[in-house]
Amino acid sequence: MSFFDPIANVYDLWYEKPLGRFVDEIETRVALEFFHPKPGTCVLDAGCGTGNFSIKLAKLGVKVVGIDISEEMLKIAKDKADKLGLDIEFKKMNVYSLEFPSDHFDGVFSMATFEFIHEPKRAFDEMMRVLKPSGYLLIGTINKDSPWGELYEQQAKQDPASVFRHASFKTQKDLEELDPKNLVRIAQCVFIPPNASEEQLNWEEEKRLSKTQRGGFIVALWRKPS
C-alpha cells in the first residue's frame, strides 16, 4: 500500500482552491513551454498520481501512459480520464523498475514525483533508459531552498499524518547534478509565497517576485543523446 492511498480521495482538493489553481497554472505553463509535446507522440507520465498532467498531455493529442505506485490514485486518474473520453493507459508501477523496453517513449514527463523519490539518480537513469534517443525527459519538483520547501518540511515535522513525512526535497543543484552533460534547460517558478492573498495571485505579481525571491518549484529538461 502506498502512503498516498489514504489521501487519494482528497488530493485534488488543492486544485479547487484559488492558490492551488494558480500554482498549477504556473507549473503547467512552464512545464509545457519546456517540453513542447507533439500530437501523436507517446509520452510516459512517471508518477502520474490522479492523472492531472496525463489528462493535460492527452488533450494536446499525445498518447499517454501514466504510471504510479498508488492504486487509489490510479483509480481516480482512470475515472477522470474515462469521464472526459480520453484514452489514457494507467498502470501500477515503480519508477525504479519500469516495465518497458529501452528506447520506448518519445518523451518522459514527471511532475511532483521526485519529492518522494529517495534514490533520484536510480529513478532518473531508469526514466532515461525507456526514453528514445533524442527524446526529452522533464522533471518538475518542489524546491527545497524556498519558502514552499521550508513550509512542507515544517509540516512534516509537526504533523504525523502529513504525506511530506515521506518526502526528500531537492535543490536546483541536486537536479543539475543528475546529468549535467545532457541538461538542456532548468528554471524556477512559483515565486508567490505559500501565504499569498488572492489579490497576489496574478502573473504580474509572479513576475515581480521572480526578481527577488526563490521559486517554490523547479522544472528541468534533459535530452537523451542520439
Mean pLDDT of the chain: 96
Question: Cell digits for 185?
Answer: 534547460
pLDDT tens profile 89-134: 999 999 999 999 999 999 999 999 999 999 999 999 999 999 999 9
**176-219 pLDDT tens trace:** 999 999 999 999 999 999 999 999 999 999 999 999 999 999 99
Grid cell for residue 22: 494558480
Write out pLDDT tens, residues 65-96.
999 999 999 999 999 999 999 999 999 999 99
The count of domains in the chain is 1
- For the cut 70, the answer to whether the pLDDT of residue 1 exceeds it is no
What range does the domain containing 43 cover?
A: 5-223
pLDDT exceeds 80 at position 5: no
Whether residue 2 is predicted with pLDDT greater than 80 in this model: the reply is no
pTM: 0.95
**Which CATH number does the domain housing residue 181 bear?**
3.40.50.150
- Residue 192 is predicted with a pLDDT of 98
Q: Are strands 131-142 and 217-223 parallel, antiparallel or unpaired?
A: antiparallel
- Rounded CA-CA distance 109/31 in Å is 9
